[in-house]
A and B are shown apart, each in its own frame.
Chain A
């Protein structure tokens, strides 16, 4: 890379970083429940994007690529911690309740820390499904591509995740979790 193109690439990357950090930070926060962890995730994501910038800047959607890196960082970390890939798509549907009940449970949340705690009870991939589908508003196909699974699995996983959320909310967060603004979710991944 010569000096001119190096400067141009750096300037483009700076612009990309300035325009994407906020969304990445909030995605990381939803995935981890911890602001400092989210910031570290964004840092690692931007480092990886920077190292591949020549290739990334030619993509149609560099921001989508960065989001995918961030999500995969969380999922790989969860895999490494649990070493129980089977739990990512649990066969046990005892937690499943009607969507109507889940929606009611969500409506009745009056303390955001309860929702944060309940979100932290989900396996990392279920959390990723909810974040990508309902916060990032990605189409089913894109969520499925990021997670490497069929679209039907995304749909069923979203229902399971919502049911688990409702069950966790019904069970209630422990008092300590209610008062911690940055309750970590990693223990549950």
Chain B
């Protein structure tokens, strides 16, 4: 039996790897657009795991795509809103995809994160951070270099007494979201969106910008 320490490392690394898949939403749209026929005797779309062209197959008759944009996929741990999609997995991790064209409703995102076991403070028009920042931000969140930005949150990697801070700002052309790990008992909130050069008081800050600006950059504290 592997030790608990080894098991935790395996969980952490596999969660990071699963989060590293590129453009999952596009794959999902392609998959759901295909015309599977429950109860049908024949496949409408020839497929096989070696079919090199299957991944880019042109969508046939639709019918599944409507479900894709439904508000909540019941019983799956998935919450979809106009501003974000939050998927909770059986292993305790979650992926958060942000639509930076829409300003998030902070109470909804904060509530959904907390229901998934992710302590978080979500604000609009201000950003909360700790100085000094708790270590481990890179272990807690991975990804975010995709468009739209999707990153994985590993609550098991969050040190005790910490939570994630999401600060949302309206900017020209959409929204800007700053993410950091903060000390629950010691943080301050600022009404100005930090810039990368300002390097706020967090170990690392994830800056997610509206389309047309740099996206998914991590800022190291000097």
Q: Which single member of B10, B22, B36, B87 contacts A162 (CB below 8 Å)?
A: B10
B171 contacts the other chain (Cβ, under 8 Å)? Answer: no
B91 near A38 (CB under 8 angstroms)?
no
Closest partner residue, chain A, to B76 (CB atom): A19
B9 near A35 (CB under 8 angstroms)?
no
Interface residues of B in 73-111 (CB under 8 A from A): 73-76, 78, 87, 89-92, 95
Determine chain A's interface SS by DSSP, over half rule.
Answer: helix
The CA of A119 and the CA of B16, in the complex, are separated in Å by 13
Q: Which single member of B15, B27, B38, B76 contacts A39 (CB below 8 Å)?
A: B27
B160 contacts the other chain (Cβ, under 8 Å)? Answer: no
Asked if A99 meets B38 with Cβ closer than 8 Å, knowing A25-B24, A40-B54, the reply is no
Asked if A40 meets B10 with Cβ closer than 8 Å, knowing A19-B76, A22-B24, the reply is no
Q: Which chain A positions have C-beta within 8 A of B10?
A: 106, 130, 134, 158, 162
Interface residues of A in 97-137 (CB under 8 A from B): 99-100, 102-103, 106-107, 109, 112, 115-116, 119, 130-131, 134-137
The distance from the CB of B102 to the nearest CB of chain A, in whole angstroms, is 21
Asked if A30 meets B17 with Cβ closer than 8 Å, knowing A10-B63, A18-B67, A36-B55, the reply is yes
The distance from the CB of B49 to the nearest CB of chain A, in whole angstroms, is 5
Give chain B's interface residue range (CB within 8 Å of chain A). 35 or more
Q: Which chain B positions have C-beta within 8 A of A35?
A: 21-23, 27
A23 contacts the other chain (Cβ, under 8 Å)? Answer: yes
Asked if A53 meets B14 with Cβ closer than 8 Å, knowing A39-B55, A40-B48, the reply is no
Q: Which chain A positions have C-beta within 8 A of B92?
A: 137
Give chain A's interface residue range (CB within 8 Å of chain B). 35 or more
The CA of A164 and the CA of B78, in the complex, are separated in Å by 35
The distance from the CB of B10 to the nearest CB of chain A, in whole angstroms, is 4
Asked if A44 meets B49 with Cβ closer than 8 Å, knowing A99-B5, A130-B10, the reply is yes
Mask: chain A, 78-105; 1 = CB below 8 Å from B; 0 = not: 0000000000000000000001101100
Asked if A15 meets B17 with Cβ closer than 8 Å, knowing A26-B24, A44-B48, A100-B3, the reply is no
Asked if A107 meets B27 with Cβ closer than 8 Å, knowing A43-B54, A51-B40, A112-B20, the reply is no
A6 contacts the other chain (Cβ, under 8 Å)? Answer: yes
Q: Which chain B positions have C-beta within 8 A of A43?
A: 31, 34, 45, 47, 54
Mask: chain A, 38-52; 1 = CB below 8 Å from B; 0 = not: 111111101100110
The distance from the CB of A132 to the nearest CB of chain B, in whole angstroms, is 10
Give residues in A with beta carbon < 8 Å to B: 1, 6, 9-10, 12-15, 17-23, 25-27, 29-30, 35-44, 46-47, 50-51, 53-54, 73, 77, 99-100, 102-103, 106-107, 109, 112, 115-116, 119, 130-131, 134-138, 155, 158-159, 162, 181-182
**Shortest 8 CB-CB contacts between residues of A and residues of B:** A19-B76, A53-B38, A50-B36, A18-B67, A106-B9, A13-B38, A135-B14, A26-B18
Give residues in B with beta carbon < 8 Å to A: 1-3, 5-24, 27-28, 30-32, 34, 36-41, 43, 45, 47-52, 54-55, 63-64, 66-68, 70, 73-76, 78, 87, 89-92, 95
